Amino acid sequence: MLEISNLVKRYGSDAPVLKGLDLVVEGNTVVSVVGASGAGKSTMLRCINRLVEPTSGSIQLNGRELVNLRGANLRHARRKIGMVFQGFNLIDRLTVMENVLAGRLGYVSLYQAMTRKFPQTDIDRAFHLMDRVGIAHYANKRADELSGGERQRVGVVRALMQEPEILLADEPTASLDPKTSEQIMVLLQSLASELSLPVLINIHNVSQARTYTDRIVGLRNGQMIFDGTPGEFNQEALDAIYGGIEAPDETGGEEQPTEEAQTP
């Protein structure tokens, strides 16, 4: 169970990005976090595994306080938090297997890491997970030779290698084409139930959030303004989260071509 309470994050002396956020994620629910760019989604996710230092507040994972952990304690806590990134963040020049095994870096010794002498149980687990997501035949290929969807699968497997208690995904499908991104969402959804793992997904694609997740959390200006099931996520909620935002990105961009198409 993940419990975030009164989380505040302020960069320098600017206005806070997160203004007292509260969020509880229980069991193996898949929660999507939606919100416009700059709403604080990514900051919230990165506060959980402390890639970003929270200014104040509390984050507890299964009863363990994560804020204020240091050194080895922080590294041990991070092992239990898997993370999937928008840009995949694979080590391009290493093989797929090395990338996958990198998920075990928190568990092995420096010597084992350096010589790539990972325990057999880790290798078994790696092959098992790669097989599950369909990339086992790429084990010895260089990570940068794979396609986007395959690379994100490597990213997911790397995160799962950590034997995480929660999986964070920071816009995992934003760099992928629509079809591949659906596949990754399906994968995350089914892995969550197979491994009974809570998953927190930052996502821009609202229809995917509705389809593939159990619960939607809407952020705006660092505050939670919606929390409910996909069924409850109606036009009103959408307007509240995205409405009146200065950059008229999708609506403005899509309307004009249709008008032009109608004139001839």
Q: How far is the CB of 106 from other proteins (least distance, A)?
A: 3
Comparison of 90 and 241: residue with beta carbon closer to other proteins: 90
CA dist 263 and 148 (Å) reads 38
Contact footprint for other proteins (CB under 8 A)? 49, 51, 72, 75-79, 81-83, 85, 87-94, 98, 102-107, 110, 113-114, 155, 158-159, 162
Q: Which residues pair with 5 in a beta bridge?
A: 58
- HSE toward the beta carbon, residue 30, CA cutoff 13 A: 22
Helices (H), the chain: 41-48, 71-79, 96-101, 110-115, 120-133, 148-161, 178-194, 206-212, 235-242, 250-262
Two tokens, residue 209: 């959030």
Comparison of 25 and 84: residue with beta carbon closer to other proteins: 84
Length, in residues, of the chain = 264
Comparison of 97 and 224: residue with beta carbon closer to other proteins: 97
Q: How far is CA 116 from CA 83, 97, 99, 108, 174, in A?
A: 22, 10, 11, 10, 32
Residues 6+ apart with CB under 8 A from 78: 49, 50, 106
Comparison of 155 and 222: residue with beta carbon closer to other proteins: 155
Q: How far is the CB of 74 from other proteins (least distance, A)?
A: 8
Comparison of 166 and 206: residue with beta carbon closer to other proteins: 166
Q: How far is the CB of 61 from other proteins (least distance, A)?
A: 13
Q: How far is the CB of 109 from other proteins (least distance, A)?
A: 9
Q: How far is the CB of 50 from other proteins (least distance, A)?
A: 9
CA angle 149, 155, 160 (to 5 degrees): 130
Q: How far is the CB of 159 from other proteins (least distance, A)?
A: 8
Comparison of 174 and 225: residue with beta carbon closer to other proteins: 174
Two tokens, residue 83: 């993370």
